[in-house]
């Protein structure tokens, strides 16, 4: 970014988990109670760059199918959540209905996910739910692109391998 913009237009903020302050950095560094690892937030003051992002936002509905799961990985990492059992309540939150509808249409384009949108009036949010029948498949499909999905699936595999071990132990012991 420094090759494209003057330094005065670029700001970098660094957030770190409490007790893990990075060495050698003193400016614009903040502790974050819920952080699990260091996060970098880059701000660029540029009208042309802002216009590019705004144009890209309007063209999301035209995203080619090969990029849809990578797009949803970013959405899920930012605003998504799932129940601990990795089947119920796979959802992505939105601040407006238009974005939720566009994303629902993108998933419909793939013909393999059942979804619905729910409006929470008191919270003033819209939530796109992926059916529990498709939740595990959705996580597997975004896994190559998603940090959050990888962590969920690795925990599920660990729990399953432990239960398999216990079942084998129960069968083998008299």
Same domain, 79 and 133: yes
Same domain, 144 and 99: yes
Same domain, 136 and 81: yes
The answer to the question of residue 58 being in a domain is no
The answer to the question of residue 164 being in a domain is no
Q: What is the mean pLDDT of each run of 10 residues along the chain (174 residues)?
A: 88 85 74 80 90 91 92 90 82 93 93 93 94 90 89 59 48 51
Q: Domain range holding 16?
A: 7-46
At 147, give phi and psi (nearest 5°).
-70, -45
Same domain, 142 and 101: yes
The answer to the question of residue 163 being in a domain is no
Same domain, 114 and 77: yes
- Location of structure tokens 């560094």: 29
Query: Each residue of 114-130: pLDDT tens digit?
Result: 999 999 999 999 999 99
Same domain, 14 and 80: no
CATH of residue 76's domain is 3.10.28.10
Q: Rounded to 5, what percent of the chain is helix, strand, coil? A: 50, 20, 30
The answer to the question of residue 137 being in a domain is yes
Query: Each residue of 92-122: pLDDT tens digit?
Result: 999 999 999 999 999 999 988 999 999 999 9
Same domain, 135 and 105: yes
For residues 25 and 12, what is the distance between their CA atoms, to the nearest angstrom?
A: 11
Give me the number of domains the chain comprises. Answer: 2
Same domain, 68 and 143: yes
pTM to 2 decimal places: 0.71
The answer to the question of residue 120 being in a domain is yes
């Amino acid at each position: 970014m420094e090759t494209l913009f003057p330094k005065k237009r670029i700001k970098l903020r660094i957030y770190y988990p409490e007790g893990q302050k990075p060495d050698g950095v003193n400016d614009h560094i903040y502790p974050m109670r819920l952080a699990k690892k260091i996060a970098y937030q880059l701000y660029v003051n540029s009208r042309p760059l802002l216009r590019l992002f705004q144009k890209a936002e309007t063209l999301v509905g035209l995203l080619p199918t090969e990029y849809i799961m990578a797009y949803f990985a970013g959405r899920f990492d930012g605003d998504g959540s799932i129940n601990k059992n990795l089947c119920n309540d796979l959802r992505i939150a939105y601040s407006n209905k238009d974005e939720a509808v566009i994303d629902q249409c993108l998933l419909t384009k793939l013909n393999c996910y059942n979804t619905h949108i729910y409006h929470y009036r008191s919270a003033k949010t819209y939530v796109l739910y992926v059916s529990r029948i498709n939740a595990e498949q959705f996580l597997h499909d975004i896994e190559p692109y998603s940090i959050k999905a990888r962590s969920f699936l690795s925990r599920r595999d660990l729990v399953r391998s432990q239960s398999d071990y216990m079942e084998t132990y129960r069968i083998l012991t008299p």
